[in-house]
Amino acid sequence: MIVCHCRAISDKTIRAHVRAGCDSRRSIASACGAGTDCGGCARTVSEVIVDESASAERRSLSLPLFVSA
């Protein structure tokens, strides 16, 4: 879905930047420009950051643990 209509930036783009290390609206704005024009998407950008960060944490917790005998 398009999150930032001013810059035509999708949630997939924002999620990719979160996976690459962006962890705030400011870092997302620097990386792709989302939220730098009218600001109408600021809340949604924040929600996508939180959601993707939580997803990444769940993925890391679901990795199998190997114990050597």
The CATH number assigned to the domain with range 2-61 reads 1.10.10.1100
pLDDT digits (tens, 9 = 90+) for 44-67: 999 999 999 998 777 666 656 666
Tell me the one-letter amino acid at 46.
S
pTM of the model: 0.81
Angle at 55 between CA 51 and CA 56, to 5 degrees: 120
Domain extent listing, the chain: 2-61
- pLDDT for res 1: 97
pLDDT digits (tens, 9 = 90+) for 5-36: 999 999 999 999 999 999 999 999 999 999 99
